[in-house]
Structure 1
Amino acid sequence: MCHQQPTTWGVSYLGVLWAYKTAYKAITGHNPFQLLYGIEVVVPLQFIEGSPRVGTHKVQHWIKQAQYARIHLVEELRERAQEHISKNQLRRKANHDRHIWERPIKKQSLVLLYQPSLTNKKEKKLFTGWKGPYKVVRLLPRGAVQLAMLQEMLPPLFLITLYMKFSQRQKHFKLGKHFPLTHSPRWRVK
């Protein structure tokens, strides 16, 4: 918008700000101006009211009544916006929960533990970050799991998002090993 005439950004900024304040937001169901002032944006109030020096007592009484009505309307709009937000959050949560991967982990099953700190180092590019296998000792509420190494030492508790089920096909996930390469690369990791 301003790339054609860079010195006119001040004029364009006001238009962009006006467009943002008057644009309908899907989360609240209203525009920000309407939630703040309780009315739809059409024209500035000075065009409707006239100059304060010219206004009569009747017009001022009408304006006070309109302001009281607007206050109640703003409260009602905010309540509706809050309801709209909570419905939207429930819909998003239901959509998220529908796509969650079920982890059929049971007691005494073997799992791999994900530790992202192993994958962040440049010198260990090919490390997976998965360690294990560990044995599930206890399933706790809210997705916490107590794991035991196969040598029966107990590490601390971990969340359900940090592990996956171990299978015999995942033998390359051994401690301190990286993925085996199927072909020889042109570059070497040092």
Structure 2
Amino acid sequence: MSDNYKEWPEKIPFALWGYRTSIRTATGATPYYLVYGMEAVQPVELEVPSLMILLESQVPEADWVQARYDSLIMLDECRLNASYHVQLYQKRIERAFNKKVKPKGISEGDLVLKSDRASLPIDLRGKFKPNWAGLYLVKKILSGGDVRLPDSDGNHFKNPSNFDQ
């Protein structure tokens, strides 16, 4: 939309308008609708009246106010529907992601390495520090991919570890 980088501040309102008035896949609604409870009137609809504009212009003001009040009362239900839509979308994305996940085949009694993500504030070895800590025996496998690992003294770590660690 712009020929050079100096014009982008002038184009931001158009980009924001496009974002706010386009339907989001996750919610199934536009951000404008979720905030204001009604769809935005596009600027082109003021020049070339659409059916929505023609119908609203013929409605008496008292009826329009009552219809607007009713739509605002229904706004919480619309937001709740958007919330349900987000949950379904997240489950769909999770299913698509989990199709690519391969089980690791770890069972109780196996020896595993644990990733060492807790780095010291100053580690002089830098990128040469080890990424893994010792051998641990898988004591118990919990639901959701969590495992209980005891340290060398037989004491369990404070928190369970994930299979990806």
Letter in 2 for 1:146: L
**Aligned to 1:147, what secondary structure does the other structure show?**
coil
Q: Deviations over 1:111-140 (max 9, x none)?
A: 11211246994624334412222223x205
Cα distance, 1:107 vs structure 2: 2.8
Contact 2:148–2:156 (CA under 8 A) maintained in structure 1: no
Structure-2 residue corresponding to 1:4: 4
Identity %: 22
Contact 2:147–2:163 (CA under 8 A) maintained in structure 1: no
Does residue 1:132 correspond to 2:134, yes or no? yes
Q: 1:124 to 1:29 in 2, by over 3 A?
A: same
Letter in 2 for 1:100: V
After TM superposition, the score normalised by the length of structure 2 is: 0.68
Structure-1 residue corresponding to 2:98: 97
Distance of 1:127 and 1:95 partners within structure 2: 35
Structure-1 residue corresponding to 2:150: 147
Higher alpha-carbon Rg: 1
Q: 1:154 to 1:76 in 2, by over 3 A?
A: same
Structure-2 residue corresponding to 1:21: 20
Structure-2 residue corresponding to 1:161: 163
Query: For structure 1, which runs of at least 5 residues remain unmatched after alignment?
Result: 50-57, 164-190
Q: Deviations over 1:76-122 (max 9, x none)?
A: 43232122111111112223333333232233221112112469946
Q: For 1:35-184, what aligned pairs fall within 5 Å after superposition?
A: 35-43=34-42, 59-117=60-118, 121=123, 123-136=125-138, 138-142=139-143, 143-149=146-152, 153-157=153-157, 158-161=160-163, 163=165
Contact 1:22–1:33 (CA under 8 A) maintained in structure 2: yes
Q: 1:117 to 1:61 in 2, by over 3 A?
A: closer
Distance of 1:117 and 1:69 partners within structure 2: 54
Aligned length: 149
Distance of 2:8 and 2:114 partners within structure 1: 56
Query: For structure 2, which runs of at least 5 residues remain unmatched after alignment?
Result: 47-52
Q: Deviations over 1:54-91 (max 9, x none)?
A: xxxx8321222221332245344323212211111111
Distance of 1:65 and 1:124 partners within structure 2: 67
Q: 1:122 to 1:19 in 2, by over 3 A?
A: farther
Q: Deviations over 1:127-178 (max 9, x none)?
A: 4412222223x205341312343xxx22542403364xxxxxxxxxxxxxxx
